[in-house]
C-alpha cells in the first residue's frame, strides 16, 4: 500500500504526504526538508497538546535549532484572528525569522490557523501539517487552503499556502472521539462519489474494519482519499473549475450546519447534503432511486445522519445564499452524473434545491 503521495504544482513536486502508524519517521522526514537548521514552533490545542505535544517535542529536542510550543483552547470558536495575533506575539518574542517553521499538530482548526499564520508571518514562513483527526487527514491538511473565521463568517479570511510536508501518525485516530471520527467518513464517502466508484464499493465492503480503526483499512482509506484530493487540487489549485467538486454535499450541508447552530458535526451535515444532492441527481435522471437508497444505507452504517428535524426549508435555502460561494456570485452546485462522477452544475434552480431539501428535512 502506498504510504507516500507527492503533490505537484505545474509538474513540480511541492510536498509529500507521509502516512505512518507512529511519530517515529517524523524527525527523518523533517530533516529531509531542512528542518534541522530551524527554530520550530509546535502549534496545538488544549486537547491534543496533553496527548501528543510532549512526545513530538521530545523527538525534536536537540534535533533542530530550538523547539517551542504554542497551545490555544480547542474548538472552532478559537479559529480567529485573535488567536493568530497571540501566535504572532509568541513568534516575535522567540525571534522567529523567515527561515523558521511552524508545525500544526491537531485537527482542521489547528491546520487552518497555523497555515494562515505561516502564510502571513513575515510575508510567509514554512509550515508542516501533522493532522490528527480523520477530517484533517483526508481533507483539510491537503491542498493548501488556510484561514480563520471572521465574526459569523466561516473561513472568511485566508490564503492559499502549501505545507512543506504532511506527516500523519494514523495511530492518533485511536484517541479521537467516536462521533468525531465517524463524522470524517462524510468526506471519505464524498471522494468515492465524485471520482472513485471502486473506492465507494470498497468502503461499503469494509465498514467494520473502518469503524474499528484497523490500521490497514485506515491506511488504505486515508491514502485513497488523499490521492483523490491530490489529483483534483493538482488540476485546479485555486478552485477555478474541478476543485469545486470537493463541495459535494456542502452547499446545503453548510446551511444546515449553520441553522443547527453547529450542534451537528461538519461531516454529518455533509452526509445530509450529499443525500439531498443525490436526490436532485435522481430527479434529473442521473442516478436511480436504488442508488440513492444505497447511499443512505452506507451513510447509516457509519452512524451518519441522512435527514434532520426541526428546520424550515425556506430558512435553509436563505442560509445557502449567505454562503461564501454565493457571495462570490452564481451558485455552483455539485451533482452526481453517476456514482463516481461528480459534475459542477450552474443551472440548478431554487425549485430543485427545495425538492432536494424535502428529501432530508423531517
Ligand atoms: N483547509 C481546508 O481545506 C479545510 C477542509 C475541510 C475543513 N476545514 C476546517 O477544518 C476544521 C474542522 O476540523 P476538525 O474536524 O479536525 O476539527 P477540530 O480541529 O476542531 O478537532 C475536533 C476536536 O477533536 C480534538 N482532537 C483532534 N485530534 C484528536 C485526537 N487525535 N485525539 C483526541 N482528540 C483530538 C480537537 O482538539 C478538537 O476538540 C473546520 O474549521 C473547517 O473549516 C478546512
Ligand atoms: Zn467538508
187-209 pLDDT tens trace: 999 999 999 999 999 999 999 99
DSSP state letter for 139: I
Give every CB contact of residue 83 below 8 A, 6+ residues apart in sequence.
Answer: 72, 113, 148
Let me know if 160 is exposed, middle or buried by CB neighbors in 10 A (0-12, 13-18, 19+).
Answer: middle
Residue 346: strand, helix, or coil:
coil
pLDDT at 94 over 50: yes
Would residue 289 show up in a list of annotated catalytic residues for this protein? no
Judged against a pLDDT cut of 80, whether residue 326 lies above it is answered with: no
CA–CA dist 290, 287 (Å, integer): 8
CA dist 172 and 132 (Å) reads 6
How many CB atoms sit inside 10 A of residue 292's CB?
21
Mutate to test the pocket of ligand 1, among 49, 73, 107 (most ligand atoms within 8 A of CB): 107
The verdict on whether 257 is a catalytic residue reads no
Ligand 1 close to Cβ of residue 172 (< 6 A): yes
Q: Whose CA is nearest to atom 18 of ligand 1?
A: 107
Q: Which helix (H) or strand (E) holds 295?
A: helix 289-301
Distance between Cα 185 and ligand 1 center (Å): 13
How confident is the model over 295-308, as pLDDT tens digits?
Answer: 999 999 999 999 99
Does the model's pTM come out above 0.85? yes
Contact 333, 317 (CB under 8 A): no
Active-site choice (169, 196, 247, 296): 247
Predicted local confidence at residue 327, as pLDDT: 47
Pairing of strands 145-150, 153-160: antiparallel
Q: Which of 190, 195, 250, 296 is catalytic?
A: 250
Do the beta carbons of residue 281 and residue 248 sit within 8 Å? no
Compute the average pLDDT of residues 53-79.
97
For the cut 50, the answer to whether the pLDDT of residue 186 exceeds it is: yes
Q: Is the CB of 143 under 6 A from ligand 1?
A: yes
229 annotated active-site: yes
Does residue 320 line the site of ligand 1, with CB under 6 A? no
Q: Is 10's pLDDT higher than 60?
A: yes
- Scored b (16 or more CB within 10 A) or e, 117-156 reads bbbbbeeebbbbbbbbbbbbbbbbbbbbbbbbbeeeebee
From 164, 195, 266, 325, the catalytic residue: 266
| Cα dihedral value 282, 352, 298, 170, nearest 10 | 130
Return the higher-pLDDT residue of 237 and 107.
107
What is the residue with the minimal CA distance to atom 44 of ligand 1?
Answer: 140
Give mean pLDDT, residues 75-91.
97
Looking at residue 271, its pLDDT comes to: 98
pLDDT at 325 exceeding the cut of 70: no
Pair 116, 84: CB distance under 8 Å: yes
Strand ranges (E), 101-230: 101-106, 126-131, 145-150, 153-160, 165-169
| Closest residue by CA, ligand 1 atom 5 | 140
225 CB within 6 A, ligand 1: no
153 versus 159: which is more confidently predicted? 159
Which one, of 250, 233, 67, 71, lies nearest residue 163 by Cα?
233
Query: Helix, strand, coil proportions of the chain in percent (round to 5)?
Result: 50, 20, 30
In the Cβ-directed half-sphere of 6, how many Cα atoms lie within 13 Å?
Answer: 7
Neighbours of 95 (CB within 10 A): 9
Q: Is 108 in the pocket of ligand 1 (CB under 6 A)?
A: yes
Task: Tell me if residue 93 is catalytic.
Answer: no
For the Cβ of 115 lying below 6 angstroms from any atom of ligand 1, the answer is no
CB atoms within 10 A of CB 266: 23
Establish whether residue 141 lines the binding site of ligand 1, counting it when its CB lies within 6 angstroms of any ligand atom.
no
- C-alpha to C-alpha distance for 137 and 185, rounded to whole angstroms: 11
Task: Give the DSSP per-residue string, 238-282.
Answer: TSSSGGGGGGTTHHHHHHHHHHTTT-S-HHHHHHHHHHHHHHHHH
How far is Cα 141 from Cα 304, in angstroms, rounded to an integer? 23
34 or 239, higher pLDDT: 34
Binding site membership of 19 for ligand 1 (Cβ less than 6 Å): no
C-alpha grid cell for residue 296?
Answer: 443512505
Residue 338 DSSP SS3: strand
8 Å CB contact between 293 and 269: no
SS3 state of residue 263: coil
Give the pLDDT of residue 321: 82
**Residue 84: pLDDT over 80:** yes
Q: Which ligand is nearest to the CA of 267?
A: 2
* 33-40 mean pLDDT: 97
Which is the closest atom of ligand 1 to the Cα of 183?
15
DSSP string, 174-192: GGS-HHHHHHTHHHHHHHH
pLDDT tens digits, one per residue of 226-267: 999 999 999 998 888 999 999 999 999 999 999 999 899 999
Ligand 1: residue whose CA is nearest its atom 37: 47
Residue 328's pLDDT is 53
Atom of ligand 1 minimally distant from the CA of 47: 37
**Is residue 76 flagged as an active site residue?**
no
- What residues pair up with 17 in beta bridges, in sequence order? 5, 166
What whole-number distance in Å separates Cα of residue 110 and Cα of residue 71? 10
Q: Is the CB of 99 under 6 A from ligand 1?
A: no
SS3 323: coil
pLDDT on residue 306: 98
CA distance 273 to 247: 10
What length does the chain have? 362
Measured in whole angstroms, how far is the alpha carbon of residue 183 from the centre of its chain?
Answer: 11
Amino acid at each position: 500500500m502506498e504510504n507516500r503521495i507527492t503533490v505537484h504544482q505545474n509538474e513540480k513536486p511541492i510536498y509529500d504526504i507521509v502516512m505512518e502508524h507512529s511519530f517515529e519517521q517524523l524527525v527523518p522526514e523533517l530533516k529531509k526538508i531542512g528542518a534541522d537548521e530551524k527554530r520550530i514552533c509546535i502549534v496545538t490545542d488544549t486537547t491534543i497538546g496533553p496527548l501528543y505535544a510532549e512526545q513530538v517535542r521530545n523527538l525534536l529536542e536537540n534535533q533542530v535549532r530550538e523547539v517551542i510550543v504554542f497551545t490555544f483552547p480547542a474548538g472552532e470558536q478559537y479559529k480567529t484572528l485573535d488567536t493568530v495575533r497571540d501566535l504572532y506575539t509568541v513568534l516575535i518574542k522567540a525571534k522567529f525569522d523567515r527561515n523558521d517553521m511552524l508545525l500544526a499538530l491537531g485537527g482542521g482548526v489547528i491546520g487552518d490557523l497555523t497555515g494562515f499564520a505561516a502564510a502571513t508571518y513575515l510575508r510567509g514562513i514554512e509550515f508542516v501539517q501533522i493532522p490528527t483527526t480523520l477530517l484533517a487527514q483526508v481533507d483539510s491538511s491537503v491542498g493548501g487552503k488556510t484561514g480563520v473565521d471572521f465574526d459569523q463568517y466561516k473561513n472568511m479570511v485566508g490564503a492559499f499556502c502549501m505545507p512543506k510536508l504532511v506527516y500523519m501518525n494514523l495511530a492518533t485516530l485511536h484517541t479521537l472521539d467516536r462521533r468525531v471520527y465517524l463524522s470524517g467518513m462524510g468526506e471519505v464517502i464524498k471522494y468515492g462519489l465524485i471520482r472513485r466508484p471502486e473506492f465507494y464499493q470498497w468502503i461499503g465492503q469494509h465498514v467494520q474494519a473502518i469503524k474499528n480503526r484497523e490500521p490497514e483499512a485506515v491506511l488504505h482509506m486515508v491514502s485513497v482519499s488523499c490521492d483523490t484530493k491530490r489529483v483534483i487540487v493538482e488540476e485546479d489549485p485555486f478552485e477555478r473549475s474541478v476543485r469545486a467538486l470537493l463541495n459535494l454535499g456542502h452547499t446545503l450541508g453548510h446551511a444546515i450546519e449553520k441553522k443547527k447552530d453547529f450542534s451537528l458535526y461538519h461531516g454529518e451535515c455533509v452526509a445530509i447534503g450529499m443525500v439531498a444532492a443525490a436526490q436532485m441527481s435522481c430527479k434529473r435522471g442521473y442516478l436511480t432511486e436504488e442508488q440513492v437508497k444505497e447511499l443512505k444505507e452506507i451513510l447509516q452504517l457509519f452512524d451518519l445522519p441522512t435527514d434532520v428535524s426541526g428546520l424550515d426549508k425556506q430558512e435553509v435555502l436563505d442560509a445557502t445564499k449567505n454562503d461564501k460561494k454565493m457571495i462570490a456570485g452564481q451558485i455552483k452546485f455539485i451533482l452526481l452524473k453517476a456514482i463516481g462522477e461528480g459534475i459542477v452544475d450552474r443551472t440548478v434552480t431554487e425549485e430543485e434545491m427545495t425538492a432536494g431539501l424535502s428529501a432530508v428535512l423531517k
